[in-house]
Amino acid sequence: MSSHLDAARRGTLAGAVRDAHILVATGSGGVGKTTSAAALGLAAAQQGRRALVLTIDPARRLAQAMGLEGLDDEPTEVPLDAAHRGDGTGELWAMMLDMQTTFDRLIHRHASSPEEAAAITSNRIYRQLSSTLSGTQEYMAMERLHELHEEGAFDLLVIDTPPTRSALDFLDAPRRMTSFLEGRLLKLLLKPGVAAGRGIGKVVGAGATAFIRVAGRVTGMELLQDLADFFRDFEGMYDGFKQRAEEVLTLLRAPSSQFVVVTSAEPPPLREARFFLERLEQEGLHAAGVVVNRVRPEVPRDPTDAGLERAVQGLEADAGVLSDADDRPPASRSEELAMAGALRLLGDVRNLAARQRRDVAAGLFGVEVPALVEVPLLGGDVHDLEGLDAIASTLVTGRAR
């Protein structure tokens, strides 16, 4: 294990919870991102901050972890009782991204008039693109984050990123969206003069629109008309979209915005965590630390233990002596077998815990890790504030309850 990883094992996320304005929880699917994000928000509320957790996942995991019936696009306050409130002055809020609503607001912001915005948002081409275009969900998550930042109602914004194939998709979303808007075909359709020259651009544009309308009447395909209307109405909005994407990336590069990389102790998600940490460094973004979920607890060894395997073998051998000369009652032999089984299980747990820590050390070797927090394996899923509180305590103290 590298020296800086040794130091990171002693770190916590207390500083990030206390000082950051934005915390982005990211990692591969199924590693406990949503629960970690919710625990970070609860930890901040317990320190007197007004925290909002925004989930991008349409599943109900965040609501379930907070004991809520459901969430929507508007912030909902999470009731905190005395046992989970901390100093009593903080607040915990939660919400779930509504991608379509966020996209509609973006259109209204950049449209030249309310009438133009209404024409675009009611267009069938727009409705299809806004829900199926690759990267739209991640782009709208960033847009909603920027809206909440501008509103200034919360001290801390915790973002639970989408359950995508790759955690890197979240960072790539603005570029994919602007690349689509910068594409040659779309530019040609939006600005025919680019291809035909300024002098006859209007003629080409009008001719193309007239052709689509005639084709629509002949074929009965109203979709062609929607296509023409969409490209006409969308013209001029590209610059606004690109500027907004740049503003979001600037916000994420600020020192007050930090990324919490969530993983489990298995090699595949650890590789994903490593790649993401390296990508953060390349992009000039700030990592708060790594959370390793579902870690088996380390079982302390008895200094007088001369050899666990030898003890197991001895107990099993003694209990297996079945002869007429053996005057021990059957209950004693059963107790010895049970003790042998318990010792063997103890050995297995020790070996698994040691292997997990070796995998973590190998997976993150050579990568700068500001803090590394191990969250122990729980007996079940987190579905209330009690379980969330235990994880929140581990994240800020580094110690499991």
Tell me the per-residue pLDDT of 146-193, one tens digit each, with 9 for 90 and over.
Answer: 999 999 999 999 999 875 555 566 677 766 666 665 555 455 555 544
What is the model's pLDDT at position 106?
86
Give Cα separations from 265 to 31, 179, 225, 290 (angstroms).
9, 36, 54, 11
Per-residue pLDDT for 317 more than 80? no
- pLDDT-derived band at 29, boundaries 50, 70, 90: confident
Per-residue pLDDT for 196 more than 70? no
Per-residue pLDDT for 383 more than 60? yes
What is the model's pLDDT at position 172?
76
Greater model confidence, 194 or 231: 231
- At position 2, the amino acid (one-letter code) is S
- pLDDT-derived band at 59, boundaries 50, 70, 90: low
**Among the ranges given (128-142, 147-161, 314-328), the one the predictor scored with the smallest mean pLDDT:** 314-328
What is the model's pLDDT at position 372?
94
- pLDDT-derived band at 91, boundaries 50, 70, 90: very high
CB-based contacts of 56: which residues, under 8 Å, 6+ apart? 96, 97, 137, 138, 141, 159, 160, 161, 162
Per-residue pLDDT for 248 more than 80? yes
Per-residue pLDDT for 397 more than 60? yes
What is the residue-averaged pLDDT of the chain? 77
What is the model's pLDDT at position 277?
92
- Homologous superfamily of 3-174+236-298+363-397 in CATH? P-loop containing nucleotide triphosphate hydrolases (3.40.50.300)
Greater model confidence, 279 or 67: 279
Per-residue pLDDT for 44 more than 70? yes
Please state the rounded mean pLDDT for residues 313-325. Answer: 51
Per-residue pLDDT for 211 more than 60? no
What is the model's pLDDT at position 385?
86
Length of the chain: 401
Q: What does the buried/exposed string (b/e) look like for 152-182 if buried means 16 or more CB atoms within 10 Å of the residue's CB?
A: eebbbbbbbbbbbeebbbbbbbbebbbebbe
Per-residue pLDDT for 271 more than 70? yes
Domain ranges of the chain: 3-174+236-298+363-397, 192-234, 308-359
19-28, 200-209, 340-349: which is most confident: 19-28
